[in-house]
Structure formats: C-alpha cells, structure tokens
Homo-oligomer: A and B are copies of this chain.
Amino acid sequence: MEIINEHGPRSSSPIGVFDSGLGGLTVAREIMRNLPSEKIVYFGDTARVPYGSKSKQTVERYSRQIVRFLKTQDIKAIVTACNTATATAFDVIREEAGDIPVIGVIEPGAVTACNGTKNGRIGVIATRATISSKAYEKAILGIRPDADIFAEACPLLVPLVEEGWIRDEVTDTVIMRYLEPLLQKKIDTLILGCTHYPLLRSEFRRLVGEEIRLVNPAYETARSLKELLKKNELLNTMARNPDDPMPYRFFVSDEPERFAEFANSILPVDVRKAERIAIENY
C-alpha cells in the first residue's frame, strides 16, 4: 500500500539522481535494474562538467544549486551519483536536502570492499579531487581500521571513455600505468571510484586478472538505496504498468543535443531527450 504524507515525500515520488555530467547514468542504470518500480529525475551538470579537477568550494556551490533544483521536482530521496561530489560536498548536500534522505556513492563501495577483501589491501582509483579528499580512506578506515589503502588519481580515464577508446591499446597502456603501483602493493580489491570506470570494467578485468575483486560503487549504491528507501518507508512497491508513460526524466545544464546518444549507449531504456535548465539560477 502506498504511503501518502502531505508533509513529506511519498513512495510514489521520484528519486533525484545527479552527477557532474553523464557518468552518473551508470548509477541510474543500476537503480533502473534493481528498483524497476521507481521513478527517476536525473540531472547532469553538462555545462560545468567535470568536477574532478575543481576545488571543494566550487563543487559545494554547484552541488547546493543542484539539490535546490531537485527539490522542485517532488523527489523522495537524493542519490549523489558523482564520486567527486560525494567525496567533497556530501555535508552541504545533506544540509541543503533537509528532511530528504540522501545517499552517496562512496560509503556503499567502501562497505563492499571491506567485506570482500581478504588481505585488507584495498586499491582506489578515482578523479584527482576524489583522491585528494581522502573520502574513500576515511570511509574504509571507519569500517575496517586495519585496512591498507592505496589510492591513485586517474584523470585520463574519463576522457578516454568519452572519446570512445574502449578496447584500445592506448587505454590499456594508460590503465596499466595507473594500476602498476597498486598491483605492486598486492591489493586484492579495487574500487572503481568514478562513475565512468564501470564502462571500462572488461578492460580492468582483463588487465588485472581474476584474482582481484572489482567493486562497482554504482551497483552497491543501488542496493543501499533500496535499504534506505525501505527504512524510510519510501520504497515504491507498486508494480509499474507497462503502458505508463516514461518514468524517467532527464535534465542537463548544457544544450541536450548529444545527450540521447550517450544515454542510450548506457541505459536499458530508450531515451529520446533531456531538458535544459539554467542551474546557476538555483
């Protein structure tokens, strides 16, 4: 039975999902797969992407504006589907969200890495801002204080994915150069700490072998989101009517011309369009 509460979010409301750009669609994809009854409002800050090379203060300012926008969309929960924003701006996101429950991508990945590692040696790869923030270190050491964490910023991987150079010797060489120091440290678990990296999952698997556990925070976040919604009695338990209109809406800050192409390469649904909003006005 649907919970209706005039003073707060309802289970039939959509989930707000945001990212600095389109990488967060890998998180939206996992939510669609694992929570098929849920509606989603996605925002990608394509006019100001990327966040990974920008300062904490700037990422905080941008994140606040995005949460303010999402709150205009009657959302029942917020997923910060951006490692950089989760790593550097999670406190202000929670503050701005007020009563609306918020989840980030770092804690779920950290939990899975801590549960999965045998030798306690965990590798993290991410953008420069995420690595500098030490957010994964803090999350992992909060769960497993004896873990050894080895982190590496990999700023070239996002441009390589966006250029479409997947299954490519240049990308293989770049991945190996970034991973070599981590492999030397005998990690047995590797967190793919940027939303674009799951798109290189097959390459990582091939290059690091079967011995190393790969953690995809997008998948873990979708699972944690389900728990969060249950706990807050916000899970949508109504089966979706297949004749229903599209339960997913997409907003971007730059012109949306190229959105559909990239979205359709990632998502399990056919996306026709995104709507542009002036995010700096929020």
Q: A residues bordering B, Cβ < 8 Å?
A: 46-49, 53-58, 155-156, 159-160, 162-163, 165, 169-170, 173-174, 177, 253-255, 257, 280
Specify which of B58, B170, B257, B280 is in contact with A174 (CB 8 Å cutoff).
B170
Q: Could you tell me the distance in whole angstroms from the C-beta of A263 to the nearest C-beta in chain B? A: 16
A254 contacts B58, C-beta separation under 8 Å: yes
Known: A48-B47, A170-B170, A170-B174. A254 touches B159 (CB 8 A): no
Closest chain B residue, CB of each to CB of A47:
B58
Identical copies in the complex: 2
**Which chain B residues border A55 with CB–CB below 8 Å?**
254-255, 257
Specify which of B58, B156, B165 is in contact with A160 (CB 8 Å cutoff).
B156
Closest chain B residue, CB of each to CB of A279:
B280
* Complex-state Cα separation, A156 to B253, whole angstroms: 23
Given contacts A155-B162, A169-B173, 16 further A-B contacts (CB under 8 A): A47-B54, A47-B58, A48-B48, A49-B53, A54-B254, A55-B254, A57-B255, A155-B159, A156-B160, A156-B165, A159-B159, A170-B170, A170-B173, A170-B174, A170-B177, A280-B280
* Complex-state Cα separation, A229 to B113, whole angstroms: 61
* Complex-state Cα separation, A49 to B51, whole angstroms: 10
**Which chain B residues border A160 with CB–CB below 8 Å?**
156
**Which chain B residues border A47 with CB–CB below 8 Å?**
48, 54, 58
Q: Could you tell me the distance in whole angstroms from the C-beta of A200 to the nearest C-beta in chain B? A: 15
Closest chain B residue, CB of each to CB of A46:
B54
* Complex-state Cα separation, A56 to B276, whole angstroms: 14
B170 contacts A163, C-beta separation under 8 Å: no
Question: Can you list 22 A-B contacts (CB < 8 A)?
Answer: A46-B54, A47-B48, A47-B58, A48-B48, A53-B162, A54-B254, A55-B254, A55-B257, A56-B255, A57-B255, A58-B253, A58-B254, A155-B162, A155-B163, A156-B156, A156-B160, A159-B159, A169-B173, A170-B170, A170-B173, A170-B174, A280-B280
Closest chain B residue, CB of each to CB of A173:
B170
* Complex-state Cα separation, A135 to B22, whole angstroms: 28
